[in-house]
């Protein structure tokens, strides 16, 4: 995948902080799981290992998805948009993508004049992060 990485990096337009937004989508259901951020090293680690790795803006370090919770994302395909400033990751998500224990992070919807929770946790956050808080 190293040549793929070089070809990708030649077309990627990182933002002023060296980051690009990455959408993770379950490859075989189409469900949008999360939006996170990647830098050059995260793109490289993801393509080289096949395990999705983001850049944690909160912790300012690489974050291999699932490293604490076990809820990993296997990369199926990485796509780049027309102007090179967003990537779409087709992934196979183990368990849940959201730190709240829900499959997708997008579990609140504008409905009925308010913001409504439309999905329940499948796993309790305490089981995902037995030692402390979510990353």
Single residue of 19, 31, 51, 72 touching a copy of itself by CB under 8 A: 31
Single residue of 13, 18, 35, 67 touching a copy of itself by CB under 8 A: 35
* Spatial CA neighbour of 23 closest among 44, 4, 37, 8: 37
Closer by beta carbon to a copy of itself, 42 or else 98: 98
Single residue of 59, 60, 110, 133 touching a copy of itself by CB under 8 A: 110
- 5 Cβ neighbours under 8 A, 6+ residues apart: 43, 44, 47, 48
Q: How far is the CB of 72 from a copy of itself (least distance, A)?
A: 18
- 63 Cβ neighbours under 8 A, 6+ residues apart: 53, 54, 55, 56, 135
Closer by beta carbon to a copy of itself, 6 or else 67: 6
* Interface mask toward a copy of itself for 59-88; x: CB under 8 A: ------------------xxxxxxx--xxx
Q: Which DSSP category does 4 fall into?
A: H
Please tell me whether residue 120 binds a copy of itself under the rule CB under 8 A. Answer: no
Question: What residue ranges in 41-93 does DSSP mark as E strands?
Answer: 53-56, 61-64, 73-80, 87-93
Show the DSSP H helices in the chain as ranges.
Answer: 2-11, 40-49, 125-128
Which stretches of the chain bind a copy of itself, using CB under 8 A?
Answer: 1, 3-5, 7-8, 10-11, 21, 23, 25, 29-32, 34-35, 47, 77-83, 86-88, 98-100, 102, 105-115, 118
């Amino acid at each position: 995948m190293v040549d793929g990485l070089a070809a990708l990096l030649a077309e990627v337009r990182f933002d002023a902080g060296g980051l690009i937004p990455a959408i993770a989508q379950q490859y075989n259901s189409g469900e949008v799981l999360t939006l996170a951020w990647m830098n050059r090293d995260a793109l490289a680690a993801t393509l080289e290992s096949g395990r999705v790795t983001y850049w944690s803006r909160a912790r300012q370090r690489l974050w291999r998805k699932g490293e604490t919770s076990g809820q990993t994302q296997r990369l199926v395909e990485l796509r780049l948009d027309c102007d090179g400033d967003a990537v779409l990751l087709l992934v196979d998500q183990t368990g849940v993508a959201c730190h709240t224990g829900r499959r997708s992070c997008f579990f609140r919807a504008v409905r009925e004049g308010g913001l409504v929770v439309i999905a329940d946790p499948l796993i309790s956050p305490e089981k995902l992060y037995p030692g402390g808080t979510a990353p």
